[in-house]
Structure 1
């Protein structure tokens, strides 16, 4: 079996809007589920569907640790992390999903 990749990701409703942090082993599928509102959740309720940041990991333990750490960060730190990599909070999903 090949090596799996795990992702920690941040979704936003808009620049400076609501944020959601999650972890998955299939970023395209999981963000697609959020975008299609297939799961009744925070992201569906608040329309938090723009993929604005993600990180890759080789093992689930480190991905989960990072997710938990990011969730404890204050909002300014999360915004700075996003803006260091994606200054305009553009939706990264079309680029990774090829849509």
Structure 2
């Protein structure tokens, strides 16, 4: 739902305009990437499809008492894989735990 935004301070109004402009530039950039990749010209479709990619964090204790947070991205579905491939985007891979933080067994 869209509604008017009224700011009382000039700096907040300028910040709001900047955020809106930045969003517009990013939207147009995604539109260009999508068009060049042969995926049409509707960024909304791409954003909706990519919004279903899931990730989770695994938090592991270490021998030093610290915790390591590992992010794992769920394997994308077929349509998402096609979009990622055509846009030349690689999902992050699983990070390795530094050996000095792991107890030897």
TM-score range normalised by the length of the shorter chain: under 0.3
User: Relative contact order (C-alpha < 8 Å, sep 6+): which is higher?
Assistant: 1
The normalised TM-score by structure 1 is 0.22
TM-score for both structures, normalised by structure 2: 0.21
Relative to total residues, which structure has the larger strand share, 1 or 2? 1
